[in-house]
Amino acid sequence: MKTLAFAGALMCSLLAATALTPVQAADMTHERALNVSKEPHNWLLHHGNYEGWRFSQLKQINTENVKNLRVAFTVALGGYESGGRYKHGNLQATPIVEDGMMYVTDGWGSVYAIDVSGGKKGLIKWKFDPGTDRAWAGDVACCGVNNRGVALWKDKIISISLDGRMFSLNKATGEMVWERKVADPAIAETLTLAPLVVRDLAIVGSAGGEFGIRGWIDATDLNTGKQAWRTFTIPGAGEPGNETWKDGKERWKHGGASVWETATYDPETDTFYQGIGNAGPDWDPEYRPGDNKWAASVLALSATDGKIKWGYQYTPNDPYDFDEISEHPIINAKVNGEDRKLVVHAARNGFFYALDRTNGSFVAGKQYVDQLTWTPGLDPKTGRPLNYNPNTDVQQYAPGSHGSRTGAPSGRLCPSHYGGKNWEPGAYNPELNLLYIPSIEGCNTIDTVEQKDFVDQGGPIKPRERFAGGGGRPTERLYGSLKALDPATGETKARLKLEYPNYSGALATAGNLVFLGHYDGTFSAYDAKSLQELWSFNMGTGINAPAVTYSVNGKQYVAVLVGSRQALNVWQNAPELKNTATASMLYVFEQQ
């Protein structure tokens, strides 16, 4: 009897192991990260690949049949609870999918491992809740309770929490192996971005540009859970670039230059391209005379040691809060008949930029938003704003486009200080050579309030106090766009006006589709050439996250997190959405 029972139990467990759970995924290695195109059924990296393309080779779902897309299943998640200044958490994560297992996060940093291998339902296999100190972290998050996702490494999941910690989790069970305090909310540092894993390093950076941080990029050695290197995004005294802070009061120590979206990475030169946020205080540039490097810039850094190879600043002495933290895709293209290695960026300031990624020199720039008032254009040689004056320390961009201490009333700023393009990632279809930019169109107004100094500079401002030097004011309804650009020139090849500004991000597929969510809850598929809408489904609550696609057992699915706190800037512009309730859901679609 005993023997039979044992044999039966053994058979049961074997059956369970083979039939009911996904195949045990292989370790995530650097080799796999470099070759994601060999695993088109998976979505292994935050931006789809290191180059930042958010492109899938899957084409079972395509322009012909996308009209038959339907909900396969949904999964309710958590994390929309209040904390700090926020009434709700948000879902902004890009799902990571590996062999039928999906890993997503909510805004408060809980990680959900969801078994999607059956295609009929999503079963939460494990959940890791880091126990985030919500009031402490939420009160110094400028713009929402956000977490943009996890990374895979070996047999671990690497995640972060808003209160500044990084975690290594057992991929099979969710059990924590170690945690490291990376950012310190005591000085208003928070973490919101998905880690970039390169070999055995996890690279993140600190948010907090509205609270007087000095930004940094930090690498954790994943074998030990200890810091490998840290590079400040504002150079210290004596370092090149520090001379662009000319206030004489060491205001660079609280000058912002935050980091809050995942970088792109070029393995050929072991360089990653990190977009850098606004200078602080956001709207009182007279407080910080000088160009304020490396705020509102891109930095090219060595992944091995964090050394800065070059930097390029988009908006010197930025008076608008034009963070440039969003993705910088790596693209090789012919420019004037010559093969060029480019890193490109649709900037929050309304211009598209193509830079030579080997040295940071300017290749091309072009306005991509409908309206742009702050400068008449870019210098064709340097890419600097045409009204940039090298002989002044406080820039006077177009009159009325920003506030000043004189108290003169400000006028229209286009694009509004939200962008252009905010954090929400674009996508690139290499087969069509088109870059898809979801954007925020329209204008608003900036009011400047003279910023007082920090306590360590003899002023009254304590760490964690807001440090913005003014505020934005809505003056007209914002709308959105989806545009398809030529990545070598920035020329707009196709455009589609959207009812709402876009705060979710794009997915491109070889089925010649672009997927995009909207904050009225509509999730749409567009023709990749014409941008004509081919299909849509409304989820009944706002979408604030980019979609991914994957396949299991040979069948393609499209997945997106749904649930937005409907921020002030959303319902100020769209009062008809004021009563939309917040939810927290995963939606997965399939072909009928």
Residues that bind another protein (CB under 8 A): 82, 84-87, 133-136, 139, 142-143, 185-186, 210, 282-283, 447, 449, 462-464, 466, 468-475, 568, 571-572, 575, 578
Write down the least CB distance from residue 19 to another protein, Å.
44
Establish whether the linkage from the previous residue to 294 is cis, with ω within 30° of 0.
yes
- If the CB atoms of residues 87 and 493 are measured against another protein, the closer one turns out to be 87
Write down the least CB distance from residue 561 to another protein, Å.
23
Contact 292, 279 (CB under 8 A): yes
- If the CB atoms of residues 55 and 467 are measured against another protein, the closer one turns out to be 467
3-state helix, strand, coil in the chain (%, to 5): 10, 35, 55
Distance CA(245)–CA(521), nearest Å, equals 43
- If the CB atoms of residues 305 and 450 are measured against another protein, the closer one turns out to be 450
Q: Is 368 helix (H, G, I), strand (E, B) or coil?
A: coil
- If the CB atoms of residues 510 and 570 are measured against another protein, the closer one turns out to be 570
Write down the least CB distance from residue 258 to another protein, Å.
13
Residue among 328, 360, 352 at smallest CA distance from 491: 352
Distance CA(453)–CA(393), nearest Å, equals 19
437: left (phi over 0), alpha (psi -120 to 50) or beta: beta
Active-site hit among 291, 318, 321, 323: 321
Whose tokens are 């900036």? That residue is 446
CA distances 512 to 65, 66, 259, 433, 559, Å, are 11, 10, 32, 12, 17
CA-CA-CA-CA dihedral for 190, 322, 509, 512, to nearest 10: 160
Distance CA(219)–CA(240), nearest Å, equals 22
Write down the least CB distance from residue 298 to another protein, Å.
24
Distance CA(49)–CA(29), nearest Å, equals 14
CA-CA-CA-CA dihedral for 162, 167, 171, 173, to nearest 10: -90
Whose tokens are 């930025």? That residue is 318
Contact 61, 549 (CB under 8 A): yes
Write down the least CB distance from residue 434 to another protein, Å.
33
- If the CB atoms of residues 22 and 471 are measured against another protein, the closer one turns out to be 471
Work out the angle at residue 284's Cα, subtended by the Cα atoms of residues 281 and 289, and round it to the nearest 5 degrees: 90
Write down the least CB distance from residue 416 to another protein, Å.
13
- If the CB atoms of residues 458 and 460 are measured against another protein, the closer one turns out to be 460
Q: Is 321 assigned a catalytic role?
A: yes
Distance CA(585)–CA(265), nearest Å, equals 31
Whose tokens are 């907090």? That residue is 208
Write down the least CB distance from residue 576 to another protein, Å.
11
- If the CB atoms of residues 119 and 471 are measured against another protein, the closer one turns out to be 471
Query: Would you say the C-alpha torsion 428, 274, 80, 142 has a positive or negative sign?
Result: negative
- If the CB atoms of residues 258 and 367 are measured against another protein, the closer one turns out to be 258
For residue 528, what are the contacts with CB-CB under 8 A and spacing of at least 6? 63, 429, 432, 434, 436, 484, 508, 509, 512, 513, 514
Write down the least CB distance from residue 498 to another protein, Å.
22
For residue 105, what are the contacts with CB-CB under 8 A and spacing of at least 6? 79, 93, 111, 112, 147, 148, 149, 150, 159
Active site residues: 321
